Structure 1
Amino acid sequence: MRYRAHWTSAQILAVQSLGPDIRQIDLLPEGGPERFTAGAHLDFRVFVAGKPEVRSYSLVGRHDPRLPYRVAVKAAPSSRGGSSYMWSLEPGHRIQISQPQNNFPLTFGRPEYLLLAGGIGITPIYGMALELLARGAEVQLHYGAASRAQMAYADDLQVRLGDRVRLYDASEGDMVDLNALIGSVTPGVQLYVCGPMPMLNAAKQIWHAHRMPEPDLRFETFGASGRFAPQGFQVYLPHLNRTVDVGEHQSMLDALTDAGVEVLYDCRKGECGLCAVDVVACDGALDHRDLFFSEEQKAVNDRMCACVSRVVNGGISIDVGYRGEPPVPGRT
């Protein structure tokens, strides 16, 4: 893994509804909260179908040693099951969490910043907006969701940012024009994006089409969204002559490793590509949920990231590539 998680027990202090399907959770770890920077997240040990899993949720707001950690979780029926567990938490419950980690940090010193959030993707972007405001930076925020009721923290952002925030209510037909937005970006401006996978993929495509510097596009995903609702499916491994069942709320990677199949992996978020497997055959539809492969590579459907991507309406045959360590002569 990229870092070694140090797990500690945290107590749930408060739970608050921010809309019809968003729940804010305040929690206090033993020993108090550690310092974190805008864009950071916590890993949580959750239980999905009775089995322990790890899920990541962005920390909301700026660090304040007087305040507990805060996350906001969207109830997502098409997710991998972590949100259901998080929604079951009530004040007084305890949960295991990691220390804060930041794979989505701000780079300071730019002439201007453009922030783009879709739905619950506002959670890291909200803290970034507050941090940039505190530093006196030039910042613009564009925030879209399926409805105004699903725009967590929108009222506070409007008060703080004024006309520097633009809200897009899809239920009113108001959508972000990504091509126009990215086309207006001037050299030196960084774009930070967090939201549903289709929005992230579109932003990447348009950014590259406008020949913008690749390092100036920053994004994060926790691999929870795809084109289809998750289904259970079967994975056949011809070189092992084995079939592995993948549950509806289980990743292919977890199913394979639980079955003793060796698979290389690292991030578990569809970003690093280390867990990519070769697709030998597929009689269903591949739901690519990663940010590692390009849209052109995904269209070929010959490789997929086992940690987040799935199959619907069928099964798949794969080759994991990894064969383990070669046997040592004279050792059984």
Structure 2
Amino acid sequence: MSATNQASWQRGRVVSIDPAADAIARIVLALDTPVRAEPGSHVDVRLDTGEVRSYSLVSAGADGRTVTLGVHLSPTSRGGSRFMHALRPGDELDVTAPLQNFPLRIGAPRYVLLAGGIGITAISAMGTALKGVGADYRLVYVARTRSAAAFLSELAGLHGDRLELHIDDEGTGLDVGTLVGGVDARTELYMCGPIRLMDAVRRAWVDRELPLPNLRYETFGNSGWFDAEEFVVKVPDLGVETTVGTDESLLDALERAGVDMMFDCRKGECGLCQVGIAAVDGTVDHRDVFYSEEQKTAATKLCACVSRVVRRPGAPAVPGTVTLAVH
């Protein structure tokens, strides 16, 4: 899902940075210019390298002069989460006004909000808004451990028994079939989390023939079926061959090698950065929501901003290889 946004940049100053959960920082920014933040919105932040990263808004101050982010320190960070976790009170950085790619529609008879892990950052403000208008909603929060569940005490205090917590290592993991089986055709489900969770929900939703417009989601580009591995990309027509590191995307590696690339969302949603596959030695880890299941199975194209290649199971310990076709 997407919406047209016009980025308006301003300066932001770090008011505070505190732990929100294991490896998750709560970062409060004061803004030069007041903003209006709708549920599901995000801000873009410019790193010290000049690159731009997007972070969901957990909340915004009543006067619009502060915003709160939740940032997970990714073990495969391409620089963004490391930069954000290194911030200290008083630091300044460039930040946009809130941008909207994941809008909440007010007026549905019932809602299910589903957050997996750090996906709670995109879902939290929706829960606050639905409570504020007296909507009928459930907030389903899935985490591997209780200590990894960010903002848990605040969510519990605000939502009470509308908060449904599923903790994997406590034996209360989410049963997707049960969740979707309890949804009717007039319920809207909003979700953000790991690709495995969201794929399971989408499949169950389609199997039940529920209305597709009522299933709404936002993705994280670093959420894949496999752990990130180094792999080799070749573009014979351009004389390019380079290794894609675990801390960079295929898109980054191609740009580093001098290939002129087109891209926009960097989240596997728009398809602008798609490239053709001439050959692959390994398995394509499709991390996008742009292609259909049939297209992903065919593996003739991939979204360079998020998708990767991994070695086939049991293959020798040599990097996978993808050869791209120039059209």
TM-score, normalising length from structure 1? 0.90
* Farther off after superposition, 185-194 or 60-69: 60-69
Shift of 1:273: 1.5
Q: How does 1:71-220 map to 2 (within 5 A)?
A: 71-220=69-218
Match of 2:324 in 1: 318
Equivalent residue, structure 2, for 1:35 = 36
Task: Report if the CA contact (8 A) 1:61-1:127 is conserved.
Answer: yes
Structure 1 residues 116-141: Cα deviation after superposition (integer angstroms, max 9, x where no partner): 01111111211100100100111111
- How far does residue 187 in structure 1 lie from its aligned partner after superposition? 1.8
Contact 2:273 2:304 in 1 (8 A): yes
> Using the alignment, how far apart are the partners of 1:243 and 1:94 within structure 2?
38
Among 279, 282, 291, which residue is 1:281 paired with?
A: 279
Offset of residue 271 of structure 1: 0.7
2:266–2:306 Cα contact (<8 Å) kept: yes
Q: Is the 8 A contact 1:116 1:191 kept in 2?
A: yes
Is the 8 Å Cα contact of residues 78 and 225 (structure 1) preserved in structure 2?
no
Q: Which moved more, 1:298-307 or 1:223-232?
A: 223-232
Contact 1:271/1:292 (8 A) holds in 2? yes
AA partner of residue 263 (structure 1): M
* Secondary structure class of the residue paired with 2:115: strand
Residue 46 of structure 1: aligned partner: 47
In 1, the alpha carbon distance for the partners of 2:79 and 2:201 equals 27
Q: Report what 2:244 is aligned to.
A: 246
- Between the aligned partners of 1:21 and 1:240, the Cα distance in structure 2 is 41
Query: Which of 7, 10, 13 is the aligned partner of 2:9?
Result: 7
CA-to-aligned-CA distance 1:229-267 (integer Å, 9 cap, x gap): 333332111222322343332221222234332333222
Residue 23 of structure 1 contacts residue 87 of structure 1 at CA under 8 Å; is this kept in 2? Answer: yes
Counterpart residue number, 1:264: 262
- On the 8 A contact 2:39/2:104 being kept in 1, the answer is yes
Q: Which residue of 2 aligns with 1:225?
A: 223
Q: Does structure 1 conserve the Cα–Cα contact (< 8 Å) formed by 2:194 and 2:220?
A: no
What secondary structure sits across from 1:120 in the alignment? helix
Deviation (angstroms), 1:44: 1.0
Give the Cα–Cα distance (whole angstroms) in 1 for the partners of residues 225 and 326 of structure 2.
24
Q: In structure 2, which of residues 234, 237, 241 is the aligned counterpart of residue 236 of structure 1?
A: 234
Whole-angstrom distance in 2 between the partners of 1:23 and 1:74: 7
The answer to whether the 8 A contact 2:113-2:191 is kept is yes
1:21 to 20, 23, 33: 23
For residue 215 of structure 1, report the CA deviation from its aligned partner: 0.8
RMSD: 1.9
CA deviations 1:94-127 (Å, max 9, x no partner) are: 1111111011111111111111011111112111
Deviation at 1:66, TM superposition (A): 5.8
Residues 126-165 of structure 1: CA deviation (Å, up to 9, x unaligned): 1100100100111111111011111112222222222211
Deviations 1:57-101 (A, max 9, x none): 100125521651110111110343321111111111111111110
Q: Please list every run of 5 or more consecutive structure 1 residues that lacks an aligned counterpart in the other structure.
A: 322-332
SS at match of 1:152: coil
Check conservation: 1:36, 1:63, Cα contact below 8 A. no
Distance 2:201 2:36 in 1: 31
After TM superposition, where is structure 1 displaced by more than 6 Å over at least 4 residues in a row? none
Q: Show structure 2 runs of 5+ residues with no match.
A: 311-318
SS at match of 2:82: helix
- Select between 209-218 and 222-231 the one with higher mean Cα deviation: 222-231
Whole-Å Cα distance in 2 between the matches of residues 96 and 234 of structure 1?
Answer: 34
Who is 2:295 aligned against? Answer: 297
Compute the TM-score of the two structures, normalised by the length of structure 2: 0.91
Higher alpha-carbon deviation: 256-265 or 204-213:
256-265
State the identity as a percent: 42
Task: Output the amino acid matched with 1:231.
Answer: E
Residue 227 of structure 1 deviates from its aligned partner by 2.7
Aligned length: 317
Indicate conservation of the 8 Å contact 2:20/2:26, yes or no: yes
Q: Distance in 2 between matches of 1:261 and 1:173?
A: 48
CA distance 1:159–1:236, shift in 2 (3 Å): same
**Range moving further from structure 2, 228-237 or 197-206:** 228-237
